[in-house]
Structure 1
Amino acid sequence: MIALLALTLTVSAATPVLTLDEALAAARQNNLDLKVARARLEQSRLLSNRAWAGYLPTVSVAGTYTRQREITLPLPGPTGEPTPVVVTPGDQFGAQAEVRQAIIAPSLWPAIRNAGIAEDVAELNTDNMRREILFAVAQAYFGAASYQEAIRATQFLLDVNKAREADTQKRFDAGTVTKVALLRSQLDRARAEQDLVRARNAFASSRLALATLIQRDADFTLELPPVPQVPSQQEDLEKQALEQRPDVAAARRNLDLALGQKQAVWFSYAPSVGFSGVYRLSSVSSVFAPANTWALTLSAQWVLWDGGLREINLREQSARVAEATAQQKQAEARAVEEVSRARLEFENAQANLTKAEEALGLARETQRLTEISFKAGVATYLEVADANSALTGAEVGAISERLQTSLAALRLLRSAGAFAAQE
């Protein structure tokens, strides 16, 4: 952490301190976008079960009850006298049980495989979203923590300007300084108060954004983490990006899925064989229709021509394979390009941070010497005010450059697929 002047915010002892690891853990557990993504992932994990359902047996039962007009006919009885005989009973009951099983279903074979690939793609997309959400949380945390540090720097300048204003007022009353010096001290104090209000508002806004991401009340303070460590070898990061980034892996699996869907069209040209068994039971029987019947059927189907639909599907899937191939190459090229660009941004941010820390050291030394000269009567009030303003500007500048360096490091880790790689 950049060493600031020994003035800190007055914070209640009851206010908890939220660390970066705690913020990331809260986001994993509470972030609403992540919960939506996980719910969709659970839905997509049923794709394989749905595909297998077409190959597993189906069993169905049915029952019927019919109420109709009863029909009787007078038929000769044993004695020769006509006797009414019920031909169609008024109440009829029936039941049926049927079993169907696909034996050879070539179109289902690639569908089952493609369902598994689709599940992999959904899981990779969810992992990519998780990393993006955690990256946003880390960005918000570093930003809010930097604003909090900026409050301390502006608070220091305000306290110095208030003390300087009080001292100048006493000197003006004693007649040792001019009215212009008093007005300058009052102006510096007013500007410092305005800067402090801006810093506090910026911190409150960034803290609220962080609290929304992790779904908790904005009743915490932050600690500025060190700049994230990144690997030094450019080639290693590019290789890591191609191996670990979930969006690159998802593009590869999408190509596998496109090839599988094209294969499914080819399999639709093959014949299919199925089996079915039916058992029927009825409350009415006759010589031609007994009360219970059963049937076992082995059926085969081969679609020789479907109006050219399969050929159209084949051309469509070939185009999708070409599209997925281009998207895979695009994802890999984009990953390598993002790593290279992020590396350059990080190196530039590091150089700026080094210069900002150097300027901060010079500003501190200048402010110290100016204070000594002022007390000795050598330096003027304006020189002291300028030195204090320069010191605060250097403090805020160093905080800003540290924030930019941390964000550049996060972007480099993200582009390499190393940030938040594990739950």
Structure 2
Amino acid sequence: MSSLLALTLAASMAAAPPPVLTLEDALSRARKENLDLRAAQARLKQADTASRKAWAGYLPTITASGAIIRNNTSVTAAFPTPDGPVPVTIQPLIQRQAQLEVRQALIAPQLWAAIQGAYKSERVAELNVEQARREILFGVAQAYYGAAAQAQAVTVQERLVELNGARAKDTRVRFEAGTVTRVAQLRAEQDLSRAEQDLIRAQNAAASARLVLATLLAFDDANFTVAPPPEPQVPPKADTDQLIQRSLEARADVAAAKETVELARIGKRQVWFSYLPNLGVSGAARIVNAAALGAPPESWAITFAASWTLWDGGLREANLKEASARIAESTANYRKAELTAREDVQRAQLDLQSALANRLKAEQTVELARESQRLIDVSFKAGMATYLEVADANTALSSAEIGLVSERLQAAVAALRLLRSVGAFEARALDSDLKDDNAVPPHLQALPAEDAPRLEGGATQPTEGAAPQPEQPAQPQPAPQQ
């Protein structure tokens, strides 16, 4: 039994750790497995049939039909001829007939506009799906950064539990030796209990963040860890006018609103074309085994037909008014999309500046907490500080480090929002084939920095104040030993 227990323990210790998921891995999987994105791509394939349906009304239509009729009786008649009467079947007992008909529109102005509008609607659908793709992948990145921040918070809490556990054990020994008071021992136990509760909350928050990410990536479970993501390099003092101009050119929602205006104008043009006449041609070939008297069993005919609706009860006039209202609606939506893009860029810049300022203050708070903890440590060794002051200093340092983790997350998400607002996050070029699912753009594209020096090859040097790579919080020093 002991050998079996040893093998079980060895197997559990040798169990493979959970896989590590990087930001690139998460975005790559989301492009292929995210269910919302797959549904959007399926909608795009549905919309891609609009032009085929429109052309179906203008291309030739071929119809074949046939029938076999069993009559109750056959009818024959004698047809007189110089050589005598000839029997002619008027109605056979089994009657067979077949027909082949071909129709082609020659002049159909309303269909011309319908075909043009179908292509335009497909373009609008492409842009809408591209916008949805960017939003979905932005949500994946945001969830990833949140999970990474929660993992860092768990690390800080684990160190705090370890620190408070060592302090509680040391305080218990000191109390038994009579060198500290009962109050100091109770305070150490309380700090340990509070740190353990905070660790449980942090672990549950991290597990919840991984569950959200797992759902976005279509994982069956959240048995993975996230690697620290790169900090987005965004110049905090980029020229606002340049960013707005890039936003108006690169955002898919703005382009979709613009194309919708043109689609509404095509719809009105289609109504105007309904006032024009239509011309078509049709051909039919028939074969029967009971033709009219003296007619051959095979026949064919070609028909040119024109139609012109002169008055339809005012339907076209009502459609014109409706089309004009749609143009006004789409024009207003396009203007709103432009104003929204401007607002998003400016608000994202303000949010980024606030997040960077808050992160800087959090870094300064951590430095001050570290210095305070060091000075209290020195004072305690010199007998000028109490044990409770040491505990407070260590707790304050851990709280400052957790606050820094949160502010770094806010700064990273603010940078991502700025990239998204200008169409620089997971953005494919709008003049490319947006139906190609294999086209993968860089998930972070560089933004022009104001007066930023250029490196060889066109790259931009990191701007002062841009978000640096995240640093691991320093481990708090344990309580000093007497």
TM range (shorter): over 0.9
For the pair 1:224 / 2:228, whether they are aligned, the reply is: yes
The 2-side partners of 1:85 and 1:133 are apart by 77
Does residue 98 of the first structure (1) align with residue 101 of the second (2)?
yes
User: 1 CA distance for matches of 2:367 and 2:88?
Assistant: 117
Separation of aligned partners in 1, 2:163 and 2:205: 22
Cα RMSD after superposing both structures: 2.1
TM-aligned CA deviation for residue 86 of structure 1: 4.9
- SS of match in other structure, 1:258: helix
Aligned to 1:262: 268
Percent identity (aligned): 54
- Does 1:110 pair with 2:113? yes
Name the CA shift for 1:132/1:85 in 2 (closer, same or farther; >3 Å).
closer
1:326 equivalent to 2:332? Answer yes
The answer on whether the counterparts of 2:90 and 2:290 sit within 8 Å (CA) in structure 1 is: no
User: Match for 2:195 among 176, 192, 198?
Assistant: 192
User: Relative to total residues, which structure has the larger helix share, 1 or 2?
Assistant: 1
CA shift in 2, pair 1:73/1:29, >3 Å: closer
Counterpart residue number, 2:53: 50
Number of the residue aligned with 2:290: 284
How far the C-alpha of 1:376 sits from its partner, in A, is 3.8
1:79-132, Cα deviation, whole Å (9 max, x unpaired):
x99998754211000000001000000001111111011000000000000000
Matched, 1:88 2:88: no
Distance change >3 Å, CA 72–CA 407, structure 1 → 2: closer
Normalising by structure 1, we get a TM-score of 0.93
Q: 1:15 aligns with which of 2, 18, 26?
A: 18
Residue 144 of structure 2 aligns to which amino acid in structure 1? Y
- Number of equivalent positions: 413
Please say if residues 90 and 291 of structure 2, whose CA atoms lie closer than 8 Å, have aligned partners that are also in contact: no
Change (3 A) 1:326 1:11: farther
Given that 1:282 and 1:291 are in contact with CA atoms closer than 8 Å, whether structure 2 keeps it comes out as yes
Q: Partner letter of residue 217 of structure 2?
A: I
With 80-89 and 389-398 compared, the bigger mean Cα shift is at 80-89
TM-score by length of structure 2 reads 0.82
Q: 2:80 & 2:425 partners in 1: Cα distance?
A: 95
Question: Hey, what's the Cα distance between the residues in 1 that align with 2:79 and 2:410?
Answer: 108
How far apart in 2 are the matches of 1:218 and 1:235? 43
Distance 2:248 2:337 in 1: 9
Q: Is the 8 A contact 1:74 1:82 kept in 2?
A: no
Distance in 1 (CA, whole Å) between partners of 2:77 and 2:239 is: 104
Q: Secondary structure at the match of 2:126?
A: helix
| Aligned-partner SS, 1:107 | helix
Any residues of structure 2 matched to 1:348-363 within 5 Å, and which?
Answer: 348-363=354-369
Query: Which residue in the other structure is 1:157 paired with?
Result: 160
**Alpha carbons of 1:408 and 1:83: their partners in 2 closer, same or farther (altered >3 Å)?**
closer
1:234 correspondence with 2:225: no
Among 65, 69, 92, which residue is 1:66 paired with?
69
Name the SS for the 2:109 alignment partner. Answer: coil
**Is structure 2 residue 29 aligned with structure 1 residue 26?**
yes
- How many angstroms apart in 1 are the aligned matches of 2:80 and 2:262? 78
Distance 2:80 2:107 in 1: 57
Q: 1:154-198 CA distances to partner (integer Å, 9 max, x unpaired)?
A: 111111111111111011101111111111000000000000000
Q: Is the 8 A contact 1:100 1:277 kept in 2?
A: yes
Deviations 1:246-272 (A, max 9, x none): 000000000000000000000110001
- In the alignment, structure 2 segments of 5+ residues that lack a partner are 1-12, 429-439, 441-482
* Aligned partner of residue 52 in structure 1, secondary structure: helix
Tell me whether 335-344 or 279-288 shows the greater mean CA deviation. Answer: 279-288
